[in-house]
A and B are shown apart, each in its own frame.
Chain A
Amino acid sequence: MSEKPKVAWYWCASCGGCEESFVDLAERLLKVFETFDIVFCPVAMDFKREDVEKLPDGSIAVSLINGGIRMKEHEEMVKLLRKKSNIVIAYGACSAWGGVPGLANLYNLDEIVERKYLEIPTIENPKEILPTKKTIVNIPEAKIKAELELPEPLPTLLPIDKVIDVDYYIPGCPPTPDVFWNALQALLTGNLPPKGTVIGALQRSLCDECLLNETKPEKLLVKEFKRVEKAIPEPNKCLLAQGFLCMGPVTRGGCTALCIKANMPCTGCFGILDGVVDYGGKAISYFGSILDYSPMEEKEIKKAFESIPDWIGTIYRYSLPSAKLSHRAGLKRSKLMKEVFEI
Chain B
Amino acid sequence: MAEQKSEFEPKIVVYACNWCTYAATDLAGTSRMSYPPNVRIIRVMCSGRVDPQLVLQAFADGADGVIVAGCHPPADCHYIEGNYKAYRRFELFRKLLGAMGIEQERFRLEWISAAEASRWVQVVNEMVAQLKKLGPLKPNMEVRE
Contact = CB atoms under 8 A, between A and B. Distances in A.
Interface of A: 106, 108, 154-156, 276-278, 280-282, 284-285, 287-289, 291, 293-296, 301-302, 305, 311-312, 315, 323-333, 337, 343
B73 A324 contact: no
A154 B143 CA distance: 9
Contacts of A296: 73-74
B59 A325 contact: yes
B60 interface: yes
Residue from the set B74, B143, B144 with the largest chain A CB neighbour count within 10 Å: B143
B57 A325 contact: no
Residue with the highest number of chain A CB atoms closer than 10 Å, among B53, B56, B83: B53
A248 to B, nearest CB: 18
B143 A329 contact: no
A323 B83 CA distance: 26
A86 B94 CA distance: 44
B51 A295 contact: no
A302 to B, nearest CB: 7
B121 to A, nearest CB: 24
Interface string B80-106: 010111111111110110011110000
Interface residues of B, number: 38
A288 B95 contact: no
A241 B99 CA distance: 28
A285 B59 contact: no
15 contacts: A155-B143, A278-B53, A278-B56, A281-B56, A282-B51, A282-B53, A285-B52, A288-B88, A295-B84, A295-B87, A305-B95, A324-B57, A325-B102, A325-B139, A329-B100
Looking at chain B's contact residues, is the secondary structure mostly helix, strand, loop, or mixed?
A: helix
A99 to B, nearest CB: 18
B137 interface: yes
Interface in B19-76: 51-57, 59-60, 73-74
Interface of B: 51-57, 59-60, 73-74, 81, 83-93, 95-96, 99-102, 137-145
A285 B99 contact: no
A294 B74 contact: yes
Contact of B53 (A281, A294, A311, A329): A281
Contact of B88 (A293, A327, A329, A343): A293
A311 B137 contact: no
Contacts of A331: 101, 143
A277 B74 CA distance: 31
A-B pairs with the 9 shortest C-beta distances?
A288-B89, A281-B53, A155-B143, A324-B56, A329-B101, A288-B88, A328-B101, A324-B60, A295-B87
Nearest to B58: A324
B96 A315 contact: yes
A333 B144 CA distance: 6
Contacts of A305: 91-92, 95
B139 A329 contact: yes
A285 B89 contact: yes
